[in-house]
Amino acid sequence: MKIKKYAAIDIGSNAVRLLISNIIIEEGKEPQYKKSALIRVPIRLGADAFVKGKISKDNTQRMLDAMNAFKLLMKVHGVKKFKACATSAMREAKNGEKIAEKILDKTGISIDIIGGKREAEIIFSTDLNTLIENNASYLYVDVGGGSTELTVFSNGKLISSKSFKMGTVRLLNNDKATNTLIFDKVEKWIKEHTKDLKKITLIGSGGNINKVFKMSGRPQDKPLSYIYLKAHYEFLKQMTYDQRITELGMNPDRADVIIPATKIYISAMRWSKAKQIYVPKIGLADGIIRSLYLGKL
């Protein structure tokens, strides 16, 4: 048996994460990926990028500090390989490439700024594919701070996928008319690409749906129903931001974005006529580690 330690840095619109995993390799068996450590830093880059068009000096410095800290953590953990990927906030910020160059110069960490389609491909390289049954249809929904990735699968094949600028941080900062317009576009896309499919099931990924699932107390392999998710959404909406922190124990940077995120999942279920949503504990960082090990990154 061999154990390799790999790491992934996920630079999102709502938070920056470092995931360190042990890869357990045994002859004749599929490799096992076991999380060793997960560090999440709430640097809300999207609040800069989607409103001002560029990342502020303060958040640039926080990014530098985080990367230096991650570098030291990876050193003490004995990480052999790692990869850093940034999504919509860094992609849309006018100074995103410049900041990536600065971080490389100061820390030695090279950041790949990836598109929405590439992000979805990396996430799908995780254990997500084990959920896909050959004779069923699925709508995969990954909600981030800056974008939502949608992918339709049927009979074991990818039918269509698209990335929309409908992330939680973006929705919080947009005006109502802009949000209505983007929801209309997503509704049209989902209905168009699922109209000929029967009995669709949603697969949801992202920090917010993971939080909702954890609060439900359901076993990991069991889905949430549309009725439950809608009722939970109304429950969360009735609470104030402060109550979600003090009574539900949410992090301050989760307590606001969880509302628009849950609305996206509910809307996707309604538009696709899905009655259930599965929530595997996967994300971009998991996909980065698996892709890195398989030589795809």
124 near 283, Cβ under 8 Å?
no
Tens digit of each residue's pLDDT (9 = 90 or more) over 225-237: 999 999 999 999 9
Query: What pLDDT is attached to residue 129?
Result: 62
**CATH superfamily entry for domain 2-117:** ATPase, nucleotide binding domain (3.30.420.40)
Question: Cα–Cα distance between 190 and 268 in angstroms, integer?
Answer: 7
- Token pair recorded at residue 153: 């699968």
Sign of the alpha-carbon torsion through 152, 253, 6, 67: positive
Counting as low any pLDDT under 70, the low residues of the chain are: 127-132
5 near 77, Cβ under 8 Å?
yes
Sign of the alpha-carbon torsion through 115, 297, 121, 209: negative
Query: What residue segments make up the domains of the chain, in order of their start?
Result: 2-117, 127-281
- Can you tell me whether residue 136 is helix, strand or coil? coil
Q: What is the DSSP letter of 128?
A: G
Tens digit of each residue's pLDDT (9 = 90 or more) over 164-214: 999 999 999 999 999 999 999 999 999 999 999 989 999 999 999 999 999
Residue 17, by phi and psi: left (phi above 0), alpha (psi -120 to 50) or beta? beta
- Token pair recorded at residue 266: 């509910």
Burial 171-202 (b: 16+ CB within 10 A, else e): bbbbeeeebeebbeebeebbeebbeebeebbb
Q: In this structure, which amino acid lies at residue 102?
A: K
Q: Which fold has domain 127-281?
A: Nucleotidyltransferase; domain 5 (3.30.420)
Query: What pLDDT is attached to residue 134?
Result: 73
Query: What pLDDT is attached to residue 113?
Result: 96
Query: What pLDDT is attached to residue 127?
Result: 66
Query: What pLDDT is attached to residue 121?
Result: 81
In the block, which residue shows the tokens 């004749």? 28
Query: What pLDDT is attached to residue 123?
Result: 79
Fold matches, 2-117 and 127-281: yes
109 near 147, Cβ under 8 Å?
no
Query: What pLDDT is attached to residue 198?
Result: 87
Cα separation values, 12 from 96, 98, 146, Å: 12, 17, 8
Global pTM?
0.88
